[in-house]
Amino acid sequence: MPDPARLALNQITTNSWTLAQAIEGCARHGVRGISIWRDKLQEMGLAEARRAVRAQGLAVTGVCRGGMFTHADASGRKASRDDNARAVEEAHELGAQCLILVVGGLPGGSKDLASAREQVREGIAAMHEQARAAKVPLAIEPLHPMQAPDRACVNTLDQALDLCDALGPGVGVALDVYHVWWDPNLERAISRAGKERLLAYHICDWLVPTRDTAFDRGMMGDGVIDLPRIRGWMEAAGYDGMHEVEIFSAADWWKRDPDEVMRILKGRHLAVT
C-alpha cells in the first residue's frame, strides 16, 4: 500500500484554486508536497509563494514548466533560453526538487522531427550549467506520442534517458504514467533510469474512451493503467520520492469543488495506486 506521506498535489489538478489556495488546501488535507505552475506562481509572487510553502512545511516536488526548446527562428530560441533561465531561478528560490521540462514539438510548418529533437538537446545543454550551479535537477518529461507535433518530441522514457546519457549529471526524467504506461519497454527503462535519474512520479489514469488528448485525464482507478505495477517498478529501481497527482480534466475534475477532489484523490491514492 502506498504511503500517504508520499502523496503530492500537482496544482493543475485543482486548477480553479490560486496557488495560495492550493498551498492551504494541501495543508488542510494533510498532503505534504505540491508541484507548482509558473503562471499561478506569477499571480502570487515568488517571495510570497516561497514564504507560504515554507510556512506549511510543504515539499515542492516540481516546477511546471521549462522547456519548449523548438522554434523556427533564432528569436524564438532566444526567448525560450531567457524563459528557461527564469524557470531555473524560480525553481531554485522555491527549493524545488526538479524543474519539469516539456521539450516542445515541431516548430510551425516543419516536418523535421530529427532537427526538432536536436534543438531539444541543444536547448537543455544551454541551460544545464546554470541549473547545476543552482542545484536544480532538470527533469525531462517524455510525453505520449500523440503530443509529438505540438508539445513534446521526446516520447519514450528510453529516448529521454538517451538525452540524459548525452548531457550528464544534473539531468533526469519525470515519469508520468499517462504518457508512458503503454510502452512495452517501460519496466526495463525505469530500471535503466535508476534512482538518481528518476526525479518525479506523476499519477492519474487513462480513460476509455478518451475525449481529448490533453485535457481528459482520469482519476486513479477510473481507467486502465496498472498503477501498483508501475509503482512497483519505480520502487524496484530505488525511487523513494513523492507520488504527484496530475489531472488535466476540463470536462470533469476541474469543474468539481477542489476540496472534494482532494478528498477523492487521497482515498484513491491509498486504495488503487
The binding site for Zn ion (CB under 5 A) comprises 176, 202, 246
214-239 in b/e form (b: 16+ CB < 10 A) is ebbbbbbbbbebebeebbebbeebeb
Rounded to a whole number of angstroms, the minimum distance from the CB of residue 202 to Zn ion is 4
Closest CA to 66 of 88, 96, 33, 44: 88
Question: In this structure, what are the phi and psi dihedrals at residue 252, rounded to the nearest 5 degrees?
Answer: -135, -80
CA atoms within 13 A on the CB side of 174: 35
Residue among 40 and 202 whose Cβ is closer to Zn ion: 202
Residue among 176 and 216 whose Cβ is closer to Zn ion: 176
Rounded to a whole number of angstroms, the minimum distance from the CB of residue 115 to Zn ion is 25
Rounded to a whole number of angstroms, the minimum distance from the CB of residue 230 to Zn ion is 13
Rounded to a whole number of angstroms, the minimum distance from the CB of residue 8 to Zn ion is 12
Residue among 32 and 243 whose Cβ is closer to Zn ion: 243
CA–CA–CA angle 66, 69, 71 (5° rounding): 140
Neighbours of 122 (CB within 10 A): 13
* Closest residue by beta carbon to Zn ion: 176
Residue among 17 and 201 whose Cβ is closer to Zn ion: 201
Residue among 77 and 171 whose Cβ is closer to Zn ion: 171
Rounded to a whole number of angstroms, the minimum distance from the CB of residue 136 to Zn ion is 17
Distance of CA 64 to CAs 39, 140, 204, Å? 9, 11, 17
